[in-house]
Structure 1
Amino acid sequence: MLPLPAATASAALPARRRAPRLRQGDTVGLIEPAGFTADSFDLDLVLETVRAMGLVPRAAPNILSRHGYLAGTDAERAAPINAMFADSEVRAIFAVRGGWGSARVLPHLDFDVIRANPKLVVGFSDITALHLALAARTDCPTIHGPNAASAWGGLSWDSFRRLAFEGETPTWRNPEGNDDRLAQRSGRIRTFRPGRAAGPLLGGNLTVLSALVGTPWLPDFDGAILFLEDVDEAQYRIDRMLTQLGLAGILGRVAGVVFGQCTNCAASGPSLGGFTLSEVLAHHLTPLGVPAFQGALFGHVADQFSLPVGSRAEIDAAAGTIRMLEPVVG
């Protein structure tokens, strides 16, 4: 583990509320706040995955519902979230999948109930809307990590287990590639500006975050470590969304930036492919004058780190590390 400078020692940080630690045999809720699961056999795999964690899954009533491209109406998708936060038997809440639609449930959530009953909400991609809204309206950290229907390989499971079950404060660093090359090719990082920075981890999917700009569902980004990822977005669209965050004043307030994985982020036509993704990121991140790097293992990839949204962390942009400064569970 990297040494922690005295100026950011965890003992000097203000205490935050924590979610309950997960234990073997705990009941966890399964929600569909966005897209629907079309096949009951897919749900069977999700249930088996949660049971393999040593947990007892409790599916929301809308778990196999369909309303257009959504898993039920907005009210139907929000109701189980409120109910699971209010239910003392449910220790954490897993999103089955993303898609689109989590932002639509935000006006239907009972934030007083949520604030009074802190629990881990686990998921990524469209679930970013829930992470950011809970960070804005409550003091309860959540986990940006695999959805329940994700692959849950060894790296993903170990990362989540150490945070949610063990209550550790680990340091995440990309594993070295095992490809047969003289120089490492996989798992590389690109440093736009070296240095260390500490602050609350805030972010998630860039598309979802940028769509929430101008709404009451975004937290305060002053001094935050902004982390971003995306999928199926051409370079010019990443450019457009980062421009929006810059013009909205968000980029200028953060203490550091980590851009994770951008899967299938390439233009389909030659007229839109003039800049690489790294060049687009350099245009926006280097002038900020804060530590920033690209390539950390989170996003739409088979294995990913779990990141506790709202919890304090320290990044080292030259080393490509994300170090937790406080546990996410009590």
Structure 2
Amino acid sequence: MTEFVLPPALEPGDDVAIVAPGTSLATVYPDVYELGLDCLESVFGLNPVEFPTATKSPEWLDDHPEARAKDVMDAFADPDIAGVIAVIGGADQVRILPHLDADVLRENPTRFYGTSDNTNLQMALWNEEIVSFYGGCLFTEFAMQGSMHEYTVEYLERTMFEDSFGELHPSERFTDEDLDWGDSDTLDEQREMEPNPGWEWRGGSTVDADETVTGRTWGGCLAIVDQQLSVNRYLPLAEELDRAVLLLETSEELPSEFDVRWTLMGMGERGLLSRFSAVLVGRAKARAVEDQRPPEERTAYRERQRDAITDLVAEYNPDAPVVFDLDFGHTAPVAPIPVGGKATVDPTEERITFEY
């Protein structure tokens, strides 16, 4: 297994860069943005340093992918910056990749935190053998209305201040409710939570499928994985994914089971899906601001997604265990899962641990 670099741990009092590799909503929802900055200071004792893109408008950022890339490189290269945090995701971060200098990233490994569209940058870091963390966007984790989730705080502290992640456990409760960022009265509200039934283990159809597997994690948001497959310029060599552990989760776009099947079928036909030793799937977000659904429809939606993934993995990689409803992605709370870290998946004991 190729050795990756784990960037140095942060310490309380360190400077952390706030950047917008994708987009920023700081000008649209300034109160939410400030809440995120405040939590970085009050909860974690870190000093947020706002890089130029952090407070640019979405329209400006859309026109300047090279500036977004420059902020990322400047943050990594700055010796006073201990960590880099994305404001939020976006929809076109792939456009910054041609402007990145891989040498700058490789020579200045820094812990990076982001989700969704930030899968693009995390894949670029993976190619340079640098561990990053799928979780910890300013808007979606630090600026959680009411207060940050204790579960998220616990795992963020591990990934920020420690050199060992350890065992992952399911959260006790979860939510995929959205509160209106445009209504400042919601900043003190708690989202509606529901009991977490825990992980669901599937896959592994052979006699030896109950054996523990360990592999480097690769992947992230399914929409970005699909985009990377289409672009086909930034994917690792296929053999570099041998025995890796695939990470997948779906976004607030609420893709259908057909969309999920489409992407996984493409991975299967390219000979990629069969290379992974296990598949870890984040809990699917099942409602959005403009698409509210009753609980029974949300349950059915998640089951259709599980079935789609189960079917395609069984077709192309029947030995691989598949674990659903992990706490990463577009629901809350989340644990920042290491991308490029070592995941150990034990189907017999139903345990998952991460190291580096």
- TM-score, normalised to structure 2, is 0.79
Structure 2: how far apart are the matches of 1:281 and 1:69?
A: 37
Structure 2: how far apart are the matches of 1:175 and 1:100?
A: 29
Structure 1: how far apart are the matches of 2:346 and 2:77?
A: 39
Segment drifting more, 29-38 vs 69-78 = 69-78
Tell me whether 1:296 sits opposite 2:296 in the alignment.
no
- Which residue of 224, 229, 239 corresponds with 2:249? 229
Q: Which runs of 5+ in 2 are unaligned?
A: 175-194
Tell me whether 1:30 sits opposite 2:18 in the alignment.
yes
Counterpart for residue 310 of structure 2 = 282
Structure 2: how far apart are the matches of 1:212 and 1:15?
A: 24
Structure 2: how far apart are the matches of 1:202 and 1:55?
A: 28
Structure 2: how far apart are the matches of 1:69 and 1:85?
A: 22
Give the superposition deviation at 1:41: 2.0
User: Counterpart of 2:248 in 1: which secondary structure?
Assistant: strand
User: Residues 244 and 185 (structure 1 numbering): CA distance in 2 closer, same or farther, change over 3 Å?
Assistant: same
Deviations 1:98-153 (A, max 9, x none): 021211101111110110010011011110111011111x1211111121112241
C-alpha contact 1:191 1:318 (8 A) present in aligned 2 = no
Give the superposition deviation at 1:55: 0.4
Structure 2 counterpart of 1:174, one-letter code? P
User: Counterpart of 1:295 in 2: which secondary structure?
Assistant: strand
Give the superposition deviation at 1:163: 2.5
Q: How many equivalent pairs are there? A: 304
Counterpart for residue 8 of structure 1 = none
Give RMSD over aligned pairs. 2.5
1:1-330 alignment runs, 5 A limit: 15-37=3-25, 38-52=28-42, 53-68=44-59, 70=61, 73-136=64-127, 138-150=128-140, 151=144, 152-176=148-172, 186-193=197-204, 195=210, 196-213=212-229, 214-219=231-236, 220-231=240-251, 232-264=254-286, 276-287=304-315, 288=317, 289-326=319-356
Q: Which runs of 5+ in 1 are unaligned?
A: 1-12, 179-183
Segment drifting more, 287-296 vs 122-131 = 287-296
Structure 2 counterpart of 1:49, one-letter code? C
Structure 2: how far apart are the matches of 1:73 and 1:127?
A: 17
C-alpha contact 2:133 2:337 (8 A) present in aligned 1 = yes
- TM-score, normalised to structure 1, is 0.85
Greater percentage in helix = 2
Give the superposition deviation at 1:306: 1.5
User: Residues 84 and 122 (structure 1 numbering): CA distance in 2 closer, same or farther, change over 3 Å?
Assistant: same
Deviations 1:284-315 (A, max 9, x none): 12231222221111111111122111111211
Deviations 1:61-118 (A, max 9, x none): 1222125384651012111111111110001100010021211101111110110010
Segment drifting more, 33-42 vs 295-304 = 33-42
Structure 1 counterpart of 2:100, one-letter code? L
Structure 1: how far apart are the matches of 2:355 and 2:30?
A: 40
User: Residues 258 and 318 (structure 1 numbering): CA distance in 2 closer, same or farther, change over 3 Å?
Assistant: farther
Counterpart for residue 191 of structure 2 = none
Structure 1 counterpart of 2:168, one-letter code? W
Structure 2 counterpart of 1:141, one-letter code? V
Structure 1 runs, 4 residues or longer, greater than 6 Å off: 265-268
Structure 2: how far apart are the matches of 1:185 and 1:325?
A: 25
C-alpha contact 1:128 1:208 (8 A) present in aligned 2 = yes
Structure 2: how far apart are the matches of 1:187 and 1:154?
A: 17
Structure 2 counterpart of 1:16, one-letter code? F
Give the superposition deviation at 1:49: 1.7
User: Counterpart of 1:198 in 2: which secondary structure?
Assistant: strand
C-alpha contact 2:217 2:343 (8 A) present in aligned 1 = yes
Deviations 1:190-242 (A, max 9, x none): 32235321110111001101110152312332210001001211111111111
